[in-house]
Amino acid sequence: GAGVSQSPRYKVAKRGQDVALRCDPISGHVSLFWYQQALGQGPEFLTYFQNEAQLDKSGLPSDRFFAERPEGSVSTLKIQRTQQEDSAVYLCASSPLGAGRNTGELFFGEGSRLTVL
């Protein structure tokens, strides 16, 4: 497709389960970002990749959160031992520009809505 694709769109997990969220960015986009958006809040930065390199993971809230982009295209955000406070929409965004030239024009996917019971 032409846009950023995320799956699953909706995920319900029991507390303590592990989840994996997938992002397929726009083809050829160098930069990939994960954001977390809680209900009624703006997106909050989690982590950033330039190609396969994870250049910034300062926003990951705990060591239960892990992200990878092994071949510089598709990325997976994994959350281990999910907690209720992890309930949120997880947004993936990509940009054709690399670090140092990223002016903030991001193309977002529709998000994966995670509900932890």
Partner 1 sequence: QKEVEQDPGPLSVPEGAIVSLNCTYSNSAFQYFMWYRQYSRKGPELLMYTYSSGNKEDGRFTAQVDKSSKYISLFIRDSQPSDSATYLCAMSFSGNTPLVFGKGTRLSVIA
Angle, vertex CA 76, rays to CA 95 and CA 35, nearest 5: 55
What element of type H or E holds 114? Answer: strand 112-116
Asked if 96 is part of the footprint of partner 1 (rule: CB under 8 A), the reply reads no
Task: Give the shortest CB-38-to-partner 1 separation in angstroms.
Answer: 9
CB neighbour list of residue 6: distance below 8 Å, 6 or more residues apart:
21, 22, 23, 24, 90, 91, 92, 109, 110, 111, 112
Q: Nearer Cβ to partner 1, position 27 or 103?
A: 103
Q: Which of residues 5-44 bind partner 1 (CB under 8 A)?
A: 33, 35, 40-44
Angle, vertex CA 14, rays to CA 13 and CA 15, nearest 5: 115
Asked if 104 is part of the footprint of partner 1 (rule: CB under 8 A), the reply reads yes
Asked if 114 is part of the footprint of partner 1 (rule: CB under 8 A), the reply reads no
Asked if 108 is part of the footprint of partner 1 (rule: CB under 8 A), the reply reads yes
Q: Nearer Cβ to partner 1, position 74 or 97?
A: 97
Measured distance CA(10)–CA(114) in Å, rounded: 6
Chain positions contacting partner 1, by CB under 8 A: 4, 33, 35, 40-45, 48, 56, 59, 91, 93, 97, 99-111
